[in-house]
Structure 1
Amino acid sequence: MPLTISSAECQVAGFAIATIGWILSSTSMGLVEWRVWHMNDPSFFPTGYACVGMWRVCMYRHHINISTAKFCHRYTYYDDFLPLNIRISQHLMLLASILGLAGKAYSIYALWNMHLGILHKRKAYCSFVVSGTLNMIAGLCILSAVLWNYYCITTLQGIAFSPSFQLPFKPDTQETGSAAVVASLGAVLKLLSGFFLSYQFSPGIQVHPKIIET
């Protein structure tokens, strides 16, 4: 019995879901709204808010009911004020991106060879399992960074920024930003794609070239 593309609908769906999840998680790394700090007391610091991201922090000040960006600072290796949670989360997100790319490569390899009909079922299934496993590990890395970020917000953990930033150690209030929401959605899709990609074919089916008689 030939194995056609329709026989691997779960794997194709898993590849599509993993791709969307990878795009969302990669996009979230570039967004700065992971933690939103609100400074409402003008006694010590100018009022406004700051967005604390994985790779940079941006400060906004209130001027006549208008919020304008004061400046943004991109983190460097020499910034000793960065807490451990941000440094580890940076590595987790980078690792998730690399694993996601590797997972996509395994999926493309398996789908392409299935289309050509040159892989047996066991080899095709193993390639999809590797892809699904990599995507699930990537999803767990992203989810760990998101949960750690949420934990820092709920426990009101502060950051000792440079005095030139004019930011307090702890804001008056802080909340989860949109970047964490995007990353959470990407993590869920990554985990979901792992189940689809690891779906096992019906027993006894092998991939054979499809011969068209002329």
Structure 2
Amino acid sequence: MPSPAHAVHAQLGAMWLGCVGWALTAVALGLVQWRVWLVSDREAISSGVAWVGLWRACFYSHTHVTPGLLVMHCESMGLTEAFTPPEVAAGQVLMLVSLLAGIGGNAAAVYALRNAFFGMGRGSPIRSAFVAAGVLCLLAGAASLAPLLWNLSSVATNQTVKFPPRFKMPPAPDSQHMGWGIFVGLVGTVLMVVSGVVFCTYRSPKRSRHLDSALSGGAGGEDNLAFESQDHL
């Protein structure tokens, strides 16, 4: 019978893809460059460029400085604040859900690979563990894809955010484009989805009928009469 370890090469590669995808999702969550605003009024925004992320809005300034950030001014965006747009609020929640589902999927994949490579017994739930890993990774990909596409749509249609005065942001940008946060998040999402699909396609190696008969304790076999006659001597 083929060893389970010989049937999980694709799943081993998928685990690495899943880990990289999860890491990229975490990086995207922390990046402020989701939406890049280009503005002509440089009274506060000295560089003419501002960044809107999921948690903060930042820009370089020579007149408004956030302590500890040199010439950068940043303000935080809370989930419950009235000005926070729905796509940003959804991103704050769903990206965290994606991280939790992703780490659960990778943990299930590690458990399944451990059972496969170290021969944890015929009844070990390798198939079930891989399916669980695949479902969790697909859930992670779906959870992150929704806010990423939503924010990308807001960029494409040049949607604005009604920031309060303390943000020192203009009412609307002259133009805006996608930042590295969305790009990194999309790459991480694709990797998580690919790993989830590969996990779900795992199939247990088929056992040989002759081996099953041998392991069943001799069921269906014949007794050795010569061996029994020697026992009576």
Residue 40 of structure 2: aligned partner: 40
**Percent of matched pairs sharing the same residue:** 33
Q: Which whole-Å CA distance do the structure 2 matches of 1:105 and 1:163 have between them?
A: 45
Note if contact 1:121-1:205 (Cα within 8 Å) is conserved in structure 2.
no
Residue 135 of structure 2: aligned partner: 133
CA distance 1:12–1:121, shift in 2 (3 Å): farther
Larger Rg: 2
How many angstroms does 1:62 deviate by?
A: 7.5
Residue 213 of structure 2: aligned partner: none
Note if contact 1:49-1:61 (Cα within 8 Å) is conserved in structure 2.
no
Residue 160 of structure 1: aligned partner: 162
Q: Gapped runs of 5+ residues in structure 1?
A: 207-214
CA distance 1:121–1:182, shift in 2 (3 Å): farther
TM-score (norm 2): 0.78
Residue 210 of structure 1: aligned partner: none
How many angstroms does 1:49 deviate by?
A: 1.6
Residue 194 of structure 2: aligned partner: 192
Task: Provide the aligned C-alpha RMSD in A.
Answer: 2.3
Secondary structure, counterpart of 2:125 in structure 1:
helix
Q: 1:101 aligns with which of 100, 103, 118?
A: 103
Residue 17 of structure 1: aligned partner: 17
TM-score (norm 1): 0.85
Aligned length: 201
How many angstroms does 1:56 deviate by?
A: 1.1
CA distance 1:78–1:129, shift in 2 (3 Å): closer
Q: Which whole-Å CA distance do the structure 2 matches of 1:153 and 1:69 have between them?
A: 26
Residue 118 of structure 1: aligned partner: 120
CA distance 1:147–1:191, shift in 2 (3 Å): same
After superposition, the C-alpha distances for 1:65-95 in whole angstroms (9 at most, x for unaligned) are: xxx8431112235532111111111111000
Q: Gapped runs of 5+ residues in structure 2?
A: 64-69, 209-233
Q: Which whole-Å CA distance do the structure 2 matches of 1:176 and 1:62 have between them?
A: 25
